[in-house]
Structures are given as C-alpha cells and as structure tokens.
Chain A
Amino acid sequence: MNDPKAFYDKYKSLVYNLALNYSTNKEDAEEITQDVFLSVFKKMSSFRNESKIETWIFRVTINKSLDYLKAKKRFKRNFMNDGVSIDQVSQTELSDFNHPGVVLESKEKIQDIYSCINKLSEDHKTVIILLKIENRTYSDVAKIMKISVGAVESLFIRAKKEIRCFT
C-alpha cells in the first residue's frame, strides 16, 4: 500500500456502507469507518495474502462495527440505568435510525425489520446483512465468516426463523 489515499478511495464505499448497514446511523458509520481505516493502515504490513484483501477488509469492518455497537449499548445501559432490558435498548437504537441509503417510502418497513435484526445474535445479523443487503453470495459470506457454505445456509435459515418469532 504505497498510496493510502488511493487505498482509501478504493475501499471507502465498501467500508462505509457496511458500517452503515450495521449501525443504521450516519454518525456511527463515520466513526466505524475511521476506526477501520486506522486499523487497516496499522496492520497492513502484517496482512498475509492468504485471503483476498477485500475479504479481510470485510472482516475488519464487521468486527469493528460489532465492537462499536456493543460499546454503545453498554454505555447506554449504564447511562439509562442498570435495570433497562434489551428491548428498551433496541427501542433507543431505533430512535437513532438515520440511514441515508433508505428511501422515505420504505423507511418504516425497513425500520421494523431492523428492530428484529438488532435482536439477533452477531452471526445471524451478519448473515442477513451480507446476504440480503450487501447481496453477497453464500460462498463469499462463508469466506468472510471463515465457515463452510453449509454453515452459512443453516445460519440464514435459523436467522429467518428467529426474525419470524420476533414479529
């Protein structure tokens, strides 16, 4: 990576949109994008070319997004009170919904689905986002998550079932 600006320009859209799909908030996505590029620039020398660089960036972005959301949830729970339930925290997450990629007509429906997605486990959430929003193939998702294609399929089926339970 000789030119950091060129590298940033190449992957900025991938990182920002993925972070946006996890956080559903513009400001949070900007924070996550900064964290991702800081980490990538720092660890670039230790990157082994075993996997495609894009797959690696996907992994870093997913991890940073999940870490960021966990920290945010922890902070909110501490701030609001110790006795706040997960449902209440999910509700406050919805009030933060500010996804510039969502068109106004479908905003309400997408917000409803996100209220269910936010209750899923990290793996289930990742599978839904990568398959349904990022439009990645099962094989891509398997490489990103370092699991088999069969495992991705079963995760997706279980995630869909869980979403059905929540609605």
Chain B
Amino acid sequence: MQDKLEILSTIKRVSPPDYLYDKILERINNKIQAPLIYAYAACILLLITFNIFSINFSIADNLAAINLIDMPTNFLQYE
C-alpha cells in the first residue's frame, strides 16, 4: 500500500485558468450589488402598500359620499 500511495506524488501541479480572477471579481461585484437590489425591492413594496392604503381610503370616502346621497331628502323638503 505504501508503494500504491507513492504514485500520488506523481500528480503534477497545474496553473489555474486565466479567467478565474475575472470570475472572482465578477462575484465580488454581484455581492456588492445584492444589497442595492434589496433596497429597490423594499422601495417598490413600500409604494405598493401606500397605494393599497390610499385606494382603501378613497373607497371609504366614496361610500360615505354615496350614503349622503342616498339619505332620504323628504325630511328637508316637508319641513
């Protein structure tokens, strides 16, 4: 077995491909951009929430207006 393991020392050292450093830089840049993407997503969510609230309020206002319109006007007329 000792001899068998000795063959492992024949494994030669090789150079990494040249493009590897560019790939590392690319991954570093992607990591830096990730928090920005989260910030954009948070802004969009905030806008959507704001819109939902504003739509709800406007519906409530409209309903109140409808209630006023639907009120029987007879009282006023006959008084």
* A residues whose Cβ falls under 8 Å from a Cβ of B: 5, 8, 12-13, 15-17, 20-21, 29-30, 33-34, 37-38, 41, 99-103, 106, 109-110, 113, 128, 132-133, 135, 160, 163-164, 167
Q: List 15 A-B contacts (CB under 8 A).
A: A13-B13, A13-B16, A16-B15, A17-B13, A29-B16, A34-B23, A37-B24, A100-B14, A101-B13, A101-B14, A103-B12, A113-B5, A132-B6, A132-B8, A163-B5
In the assembly, what is the distance between CA of A167 and CA of B17, in Å? 35
The 6 closest A-B pairs by CB, nearest first: A16-B16, A101-B12, A132-B8, A101-B11, A101-B14, A100-B14
Contact B7 A34 (CB under 8 A): no
How many B residues face the partner with a CB closer than 8 A?
23
* B window 8-33: CB within 8 A of A: 8-17, 20-21, 23-24, 27-28, 31
In the assembly, what is the distance between CA of A110 and CA of B9, in Å? 10
Shortest CB–CB separation between residue A54 and chain B, in angstroms? 15
Of B4, B10, B17, B28, which contacts A30 at CB under 8 A? B17
Contact A20 B28 (CB under 8 A): no
In the assembly, what is the distance between CA of A21 and CA of B13, in Å? 10
Which A residues are in CB contact (< 8 Å) with B12? 101-103
* B residues whose Cβ falls under 8 Å from a Cβ of A: 1-2, 4-17, 20-21, 23-24, 27-28, 31
In the assembly, what is the distance between CA of A106 and CA of B7, in Å? 8
In the assembly, what is the distance between CA of A147 and CA of B2, in Å? 24
In the assembly, what is the distance between CA of A16 and CA of B24, in Å? 13
In the assembly, what is the distance between CA of A20 and CA of B2, in Å? 22
Of A17, A135, A163, A164, which contacts B9 at CB under 8 A? A135
Given A103-B12, A132-B9, A163-B1, 7 other A-B contacts at CB below 8 A? A12-B15, A16-B20, A109-B4, A110-B8, A113-B8, A132-B8, A160-B2
Contact A33 B8 (CB under 8 A): no
Contact A41 B14 (CB under 8 A): no
* Given A33-B20, A34-B27, also A160-B14 (CB < 8 A): no
